Amino acid sequence: MSMLDNSLINAVKDGKLLESSLSNIRLLLAGTKSPVALQAVEELTAAEQWQELNDRFYKTLAFGTGGLRGRTIGNVITKAEQGNGGVNGRPEAPCVGTACMNYFNVGRAMRGLIIYVKRHVAATEPGRKARLVIGHDTRHFSRDFAEYCAKIGTDLGCDIFLFDSPRATPEISFAIRELNADSGVVLTASHNPAHDNGFKAYFSDGAQLVPPHDKAVIEEVNALESEEYEALPAEEQGALTILDAAFDRIYMDKLKSVLLRPELFAKGGARIVYSNLHGTGGHIIVPLLKELGCDVQTVAEQDIQDGRFPTVASPNPENSPALAMAIDQANASGADIVIATDPDADRMGVAVRGEDGQMHLLTGNQIGSLLAWYRCSSMADLGIINDSNRSRAVMVKTFVTSGLQDAIGNHFGYEVINVLTGFKYIAQKLGKYEAAIPAEKREGYRKMSEAETRALRLQYSRYFVFGGEESYGYLAQDFVRDKDANAAAIIFAELAAYAESTGKGLLELLNDLFSMFGVYQEVGKSLVMEGADGAAKIAALASSYSANPPKEIDGTPVSGIRDFFKGDMVDVEGDPIPSEKMIFVDLADGRSFAVRPSGTEPKIKYYLFGHGQPGAPVKESLVAVKASLESLWSAVEKDAMERSKS
């Protein structure tokens, strides 16, 4: 027995190291030839950094709502990892650990995906090589991981399409469909902190993996105990194709087809300040807005693609500080709108100028509701949706997204379908609607124009008008199967041009919706619990709501419990809703809240909902609903603390 193993065993006996951590340390060290891995574990053990070892090794990475995510830079950086250092101040080597994003985990994930995809291709089109698209954002190690995945892919007999530089996640989804690939990977952790990275996997439809594919892939990954693999003979290996600006042009032209009233831009439009928060969004959004005739300027300091995200505490457009520099620039230049996207450009945050001359941040629910209303009303005005086809028009949103969007869709006569959190479930519906078109009619579907596919869906299936989730993700098209901030940005610019043509501000339009449907307000809260201990606490807290649901909250009786973990629910189309650790608590006074562990971050999320009466004075109703939700959160947070102690 080695001295290292003996030290680790003693740490387990002393209650300092988890049994699972010991098992996973052995798994990694047995499966890698990297000297950095052994040296890093030895350093942390010698320094008795047991918490750090537990955080790195308490689990093996598994697919969540956004694929694999984990730290690529540890809380404690060992000398072995730091090495000579890397670009943008990062360590030379990524964080060692089975719960971390590193070559060991990325390589096994890629190989597991390839094994599953090749088996699928062999069963459907024998003799053809599997095709995979690989993209990445601007994070630490993203390019390194992408090139590593590309090499594994070609070595193992797959044709690989690799983007030449950082690209937005939705463009990779589009590329999978456009190139008829069998799968795809994006190396990104979306809006997570700078120390994180991730491996986001897609299937042949351009959507993220869903059951049974995700579970089948992770089974293949877990069966791989070593990072070593044997490349196929040269003649059996795959080809590498680099995707560049020529492919961007195809995507941009397709995005333009999402606009409903492009002529509005000819009459002028709002002046926009845009920030990509050191990420990928400026690659498509800025030239596209300029092509449309928008007056757009960028935040020069944030144009720089840098995985440190040096000008923000968090590269998350949900957080107001991330938009601060852009808002300052808008105030200095007199711009009307601020748009910001996260590093992989799938989320979009917005601030708009009000009648008071100040910039006002919109929530993800408000942005989505304005876009939903604009798409619905425009399609009615243009006659795209009419009495003959209205029954085939649908909106798809997540359960934890504002009920205002349900009210808007129902007002226009559309069915509104609620799905679980995770855009893959919205994409799953899009796949269902495509498959419902007769086979002979949908031949060549992916090469058809947006107008052509819309006509097919309205005649034979269901037409997706708009969809989204409260966490700043939106989708208005069928040719991308993930949330798309590139499309959202130009649609929001179109909405702004429309508002200007009517002489109204965007806040006025929002208040019009509140007056018609009643004030809808939502509050998102999270309890952060990091590392191995945090994961256990989150699991216990989430389970407590099912085992012991509340009977009263904030002095109000509970009128209903919707426990999604039971797995016995169906949606309005009759499709089963997968089991998920989420519970909805409805109160007798109309308020409600939902609880669910995050699939990608070390936190448990709370969603609070309040609703005022239609026709009530908006200003007074906003104050009343806000106060009721503040009171509700105080009660929910207190209850959560009590549950955490038990």
- Do residues 61 and 55 touch, judged by C-beta distance below 8 A? no
> Beta partners for 242?
162
- Of 201, 187, 136, 197, nearest in space to 164 by CA: 136
Distances (CA, A) of 352 to 55, 185, 365, 478: 41, 35, 15, 28
Q: Which H/E stretch holds residue 475?
A: strand 473-475
Residue 184 per-residue DSSP state: E
Catalytic residue among 142, 173, 190, 471: 190
| DSSP SS3 for 83 | coil
Residue matched to tokens 């997540």: 398
- Do residues 183 and 51 touch, judged by C-beta distance below 8 A? no
For Cα atoms 65, 280, 61, give the angle at the middle one, nearest 5 degrees.
Answer: 30
Q: Tell me the residue type at 30.
A: A
Distances (CA, A) of 416 to 152, 378, 399, 410, 616: 42, 18, 11, 7, 25
| DSSP SS3 for 20 | helix
Rounded CA gap, 346 and 485, in Å? 5
Rounded CA gap, 404 and 415, in Å? 14
Residue 288 backbone phi and psi in degrees, to 5: -70, -45
Rounded CA gap, 273 and 328, in Å? 10
**Tokens of residue 284, six digits:** 């498509």
- Do residues 399 and 580 touch, judged by C-beta distance below 8 A? no
The upper half-sphere exposure of residue 324, i.e. CA atoms within 13 Å in the direction of its Cβ, equals: 9
Is 190 marked active-site? yes
- Of 58, 47, 52, nearest in space to 23 by CA: 58
Task: Show which residues are catalytic.
Answer: 190
